[in-house]
Structure 1
Amino acid sequence: MPIFLFDLDNTLYDANRHCFPHMHAFIHDYLMRRLGLDETGASALRQHYWRRYGTTLAGLMRHHAVDPVEFLEAIHPPALAATVPPDRSLRQWLRHLPGPAFVFTNSVASHARRVLARLGVEDQFAGIFDMHFADYRGKPDAQVYRRILRSLRVPSWRCIFFDDSRANLRTARWLGMQTVHISHRRHPVKGALQLASPAQWGRPLEGFGWDRRTATVRGR
């Protein structure tokens, strides 16, 4: 039986439309208050740390001794998920997966649960691996992926990992997971099946087939 690992933002729903603009504003507000920056400086620092460390939090912990719990609570208020719409087709697809599904996110479980509830799919997931579980390292740090594998007590090859981030997928692939890149762009990730949405997985696709017994995606 395969294990399905899903990134949350921009994988299960369109975070660029429904969450990220507000989250960036919350991050900027925190940086301006905590570090005394203006709007421009806060935006530049957020992007710099995200590119260099994978998360803004990693840079803040390394260079500014920021409390990770305080930061994560500040940027994930309940209102953040308020505009996420229900997705009945996603729910229907998840109900027929041939194995348990988990969320693997660089946010926090409370926010993930609110998003899943808004989507109408919260009961379709067996668990959430968040930044607290990851000891605030987050993706694409390979130690976090290994911690998840130990928690699930499964080998990497049994996991099918869905994410929109190329860096996150590279780590998963390097560890031996099967990978699915969720993207509308024509920039394929080496070794990953590229789909516009998770719900396309398992359907007949031109150039691909899949074997339900092993959940292995096969290119022609």
Structure 2
Amino acid sequence: MRLLAWRRKALPVFLFDLDNTLYDADRYCFPWMHTHINAFLMRELGLEPEAADQLRRHYWRRYGTTLAGLLRHHPVDPRVFLEAIHPPALSADVPENMPLRHWLIRLPGPIYVFTNSVASHAWRVLERLQVADLVEDVFDMESAGFQGKPHHHAYRQVLRRLRIPAWRCVFFDDTLVNLRTARWMGMQTVHIEKKRRRARSAHQQVRALLSWEHCAVSPKTFR
């Protein structure tokens, strides 16, 4: 992580979820990633296709991630799992997004990505989007001790590495349970919700990331 003067200036720090926040993972990654997860479960646990799919869904609903369930119930290497389900080809179709780049450039503070995937995949997606050079660092499952969002430990690890209080963070995510933990810890939260379903787990809600107004957070608020 680069040592930056912004720590002394008390600027807001912008934390972004990756999938379905910075890009449309439902369209470009998730269908294939689910296939890779199922293949891993079939290969490592000896499951049939239907059983593997059911187990993936069960662990995701119960623990927040498939990996969390695997670590609790099976002797798997988390690094091997994460690399197996995020091969380089997974991000190959993610298109560049120049409007996103211009929007990020205007943010009045440093930018970080906080994801339940693996850093190598996150950086590949950011490169495809043409925004990697704008991101200071990626906090992934390994940096959180393989306890991802929404577990409190993951957020504490992020704050420890940033060396700032939670109130200086503005966190964007499409998943309410992730935002609920962030808000409880004191972060400012923005929910990306395409269907306009109201929720109280976040301070703000927008249908698309780029519709969030930069003036919603002023640097003066953090002085």
- Provide TM-score, normalisation by structure 2: 0.91
| 3-state SS in 2 of match to 1:5 | strand
Give the CA deviation at 1:68: 0.3
Checking the alignment, whether the CA contact within 8 Å between 2:190 and 2:206 is kept in structure 1 is yes
Structure 2 counterparts to residues 47-86 of structure 1, below 5 A: 47-86=57-96
Q: Deviations over 1:20-63 (max 9, x none)?
A: 00000000111011111111111110010001111100101110
Structure 2 counterparts to residues 1-150 of structure 1, below 5 A: 1-150=11-160
| 3-state SS in 1 of match to 2:52 | helix
Tell me which residue corresponds to 1:188: 198
Give the CA deviation at 1:192: 2.6
For 1:29 and 1:143, how far apart are their aligned partners in 2?
29
Q: Deviations over 1:52-110 (max 9, x none)?
A: 11110010111011110111111010000001011000000001100000000000110
Tell me which residue corresponds to 1:198: 209
Match of 2:189 among 179, 190, 199: 179
Tell me which residue corresponds to 2:6: none
Tell me which residue corresponds to 2:5: none
Checking the alignment, whether the CA contact within 8 Å between 2:193 and 2:206 is kept in structure 1 is yes
Match of 2:219 among 201, 213, 216: 213
Structure 2 unmatched runs, 5+: 1-10
Deviates more, 1:143-152 or 1:121-130: 143-152
- Provide TM-score, normalisation by structure 1: 0.92
Structure 2 counterparts to residues 134-173 of structure 1, below 5 A: 134-173=144-183
Give the CA deviation at 1:214: 4.3
| 3-state SS in 1 of match to 2:216 | strand
For 2:55 and 2:136, how far apart are their aligned partners in 1?
36
Count of residues in correspondence between the two structures: 211
Structure 1 unmatched runs, 5+: 204-208
| 3-state SS in 2 of match to 1:46 | helix
| 3-state SS in 2 of match to 1:144 | helix
Q: Deviations over 1:87-135 (max 9, x none)?
A: 0000000011000000000001100000000000000101000011011
